Structure 1
Amino acid sequence: MSHRQRSAVVALLLVAVLLVAGCAPRPGAGDVLGQAGEGEIVVDLPAMVIDYDLEGRPSVGGVPLSSLGMLPASVVEQITLDADIVGQLQDANIQNVQVNNQTNGLTLFVNGAQIPSLSWDKESLATLASLAGAMGPDMAVVADIAPLLTNLGFAAVLRIPPAEGVEELPITTESEAATAAQAAADAFVSEVGTPPQIHIPVTYDATGDWTVSGITADEWTEMTGAPFDALKLEEDIVTALKDAGITSITVASGSEGLQMALNGNNLPYLDWSGGKLGPAIELLAASGQLDSLAEQGMNLDALMAVLDQLLPVVTSSNVSIDVTLE
């Protein structure tokens, strides 16, 4: 293990020990010990809970972080929230957010429901480390830390006080929205028999021009009227990718999520399996992020109905785009 890796892990352990006074059960706890190799570093901790008051001041185990001299003031300042943000979260009834590093990914929970998260294994993390290493010294930390992530189990839970009269929500729970989204996807596949399949092979030349099945961007634009020429790459981007040893890029989506591979080697991917997009859409609506569309005259009820119809199609279809750099 490099000096940089050791320093990063030691810093993580110091923070973890400091905050262990306020903790909660962590999904995936114990998994690290079952898969770590002999002699490898292992960190497996409960979830660390940071509570915020109405002014956005953080505390752990009832102790304000600002009173802990071991934490630099700059760190406390970075995790302190504006009172306005606390109010906005209360208005959206967002009571807790959990970020959980597990052996198989970085999982995200909001109000106890898991939303689309990052998923990985040792091979995909090795690909990420290799890519980060090729991107220069600015990404050196990523290259060093990525191979260790499967051996690190820790989580942070940020809790916001619920608005007056609102019932407090658990930090982990079964999501009705996720269950409904998965049931809709299963029903769609059952109805159509075979999930839709779409495969698009794209070839870029050294100048950044592209073709699909031998048809150029200009020809596709002429046939469809769509501005496909906007997909042309800058020549220096193609050169940089090839200099990094990248000759093929695959982007694919299916029931498991949105995946990407370089030269046939998978990267960590966005996992939306199990209906995780359901609570994400529910959260988007509750947070008021769609209100601007209503102000422009869009019927939000109709939009949500369309999303309900599209969601099982999107999550069940197998779509892949294979990009080759000549």
Structure 2
Amino acid sequence: MRRTKLSVMSGRFLLIALLAAMLLVLAGCGARLGPATTTEAPADALVVDIPTIYIDFDADGNATLGGIPVAQLGDALGQDLSSISLDADTIAKLQRLNIQHVQIATRPNGALIFINGKPAPALVWNDAALAALVSTLDAMGQDLGAAGGILPLLPQLGLNIGLRFPVADGKSAIPLTVPDAPFDAVAKADLDAIVAQQPTLPLEINYAPDGSFELAGIPPLMAGMIQGPLAAAKLTPDNLTSIQELGLESVGIRTAPGGLLVSINGQPLPFLQFTQLTELFSLIDLAGAFGSGDSGMLDSLKGPLEQALPLLQQFGIGMTVNFPGQ
């Protein structure tokens, strides 16, 4: 059910609000990103609009908030904040990509990401999508810790966070400014309407217990034409066992004007909203920098995406991959 107001402030929310207040006292803060959160929320909604909290990293990846090391800040708050710090290799990757800062802002119906002040894909959510995200991550064995309680409260928390990385030698500092247009786009987005849209061409890949699959939703002649290129999609029984252990029964991917919608076990997750492929590519670059392995695999996705995604969006293609039950 869609929640439009917060009638009862739970003890967990009070704890989060108190923690945010302590961070505001101890950390270096700046003006919020974009329009104020309260201007985008329903009139009867309770929203905590928090100024930007900046986290700075040195060349070794050590994080500070307002000049205070996160370890010291964690002791003051009674929280383990060591996972905020990065390693020197990640900082070096960010410098090679000239990524100087990442800014994140949550709003009542979404979250925006800016890399060097330019928009990356935004997330558009509602209560159902956030709940589906929490349950999906939990089913996959991801220990969310306190974040599991924070995620459902994001519509009421106007968080503004800036991550600032050391500028590489020979590079000029990029201003910490962001455009207002992406905030307007997220504020106007309606996830319920996006979910209600039906794909023009719904396709299904149905897996059998032995890892073979059948393609449904298109004429047999066309299915035969693309069966060869799809041969690599065959899975082994071990692959399917791993998928079952993750609790995956189906994965849906649907293109829509302005982004991509992913569903897990029939439950839509937050909508990935973007207007240009360069926004998606910037997020791929960022993921590659934060990843522990070689970023070449992620880079290799750019070419196929550049060719296929505009066509898929134009024709409104949706694909659902169904896995056999246990």
Q: 2:227 aligns with which of 221, 224, 227?
A: 224
Q: 2:61 aligns with which of 48, 56, 59?
A: 56
Instruction: Report the CA distance shift for 1:285/1:151 in structure 2 as closer, same or farther (over 3 A).
Output: closer
Deviation at 1:237, TM superposition (A): 2.8
Are 1:70 and 2:76 an aligned pair? Answer: yes
Q: Which residue of 2 aligns with 1:113?
A: 118
TM-score after normalising by structure 1: 0.64
Instruction: Report the CA distance shift for 1:224/1:62 in structure 2 as closer, same or farther (over 3 A).
Output: closer
Q: Is the 8 A contact 1:257 1:269 kept in 2?
A: yes
CA distance in 2: counterparts of 1:283 and 1:239, whole angstroms: 25
CA distance in 1: counterparts of 2:94 and 2:142, whole angstroms: 37
Are 1:313 and 2:311 an aligned pair? Answer: yes
Structure 2 matches for 1:194-205, cutoff 5 A?
Answer: 198-203=201-206
Instruction: Report the CA distance shift for 1:321/1:50 in structure 2 as closer, same or farther (over 3 A).
Output: same
Are 1:100 and 2:105 an aligned pair? Answer: yes
Structure 2 unaligned blocks of 5 or more: 1-7, 183-198
Say what the alpha-carbon RMSD is for the aligned residues: 4.9
Q: 2:176 aligns with which of 164, 171, 174?
A: 171
1:82-105: CA deviation from partner (whole Å, max 9, x where unpaired): 344433322321110122222222
CA distance in 1: counterparts of 2:138 and 2:283, whole angstroms: 36
Deviation at 1:167, TM superposition (A): 1.6
Instruction: Report the CA distance shift for 1:260/1:81 in structure 2 as closer, same or farther (over 3 A).
Output: closer
Q: Which residue of 2 aligns with 1:35?
A: 42
Larger radius of gyration: 1
Give the secondary-structure state (helix, strand or coil) at the position aligned to 2:203.
strand
Give the secondary-structure state (helix, strand or coil) at the position aligned to 1:34.
coil
Q: 2:29 aligns with which of 22, 25, 49?
A: 22
Structure 1 unaligned blocks of 5 or more: 179-195, 243-247
Instruction: Report the CA distance shift for 1:23/1:307 in structure 2 as closer, same or farther (over 3 A).
Output: same
CA distance in 2: counterparts of 1:260 and 1:254, whole angstroms: 11
TM-score after normalising by structure 2: 0.64
Deviation at 1:148, TM superposition (A): 1.8
Instruction: Report the CA distance shift for 1:209/1:143 in structure 2 as closer, same or farther (over 3 A).
Output: farther
Structure 2 matches for 1:96-245, cutoff 5 A?
Answer: 96-128=101-133, 144-173=149-178, 198-203=201-206, 211-213=214-216, 224-225=227-228, 226-230=231-235, 233-234=240-241, 237=244
Q: Which residue of 1 aligns with 2:269?
A: 267
Deviation at 1:150, TM superposition (A): 1.0
Q: Is the 8 A contact 1:90 1:161 kept in 2?
A: yes
| Corresponding residue pairs, total | 286
Q: In terms of mean alpha carbon deviation, does 114-123 or 284-293 score higher?
A: 284-293
Give the secondary-structure state (helix, strand or coil) at the position aligned to 2:121.
strand
CA distance in 2: counterparts of 1:82 and 1:122, whole angstroms: 35
Instruction: Report the CA distance shift for 1:231/1:269 in structure 2 as closer, same or farther (over 3 A).
Output: farther
Instruction: Report the CA distance shift for 1:147/1:80 in structure 2 as closer, same or farther (over 3 A).
Output: closer
1:15-44: CA deviation from partner (whole Å, max 9, x where unpaired): 532345422332353247732745x5x321
Deviation at 1:201, TM superposition (A): 3.3
Tell me which amino acid in the other structure corresponds to 1:320.
Answer: G
Q: Which residue of 2 aligns with 1:181?
A: none
Percent identity for Structure 1 against Structure 2 = 29
Q: Is the 8 A contact 1:133 1:140 kept in 2?
A: no
Deviation at 1:291, TM superposition (A): 8.5
CA distance in 2: counterparts of 1:157 and 1:279, whole angstroms: 18
CA distance in 1: counterparts of 2:60 and 2:29, whole angstroms: 20
Instruction: Report the CA distance shift for 1:139/1:292 in structure 2 as closer, same or farther (over 3 A).
Output: closer
Give the secondary-structure state (helix, strand or coil) at the position aligned to 1:18.
helix
Deviation at 1:283, TM superposition (A): 7.1
CA distance in 2: counterparts of 1:268 and 1:9, whole angstroms: 23
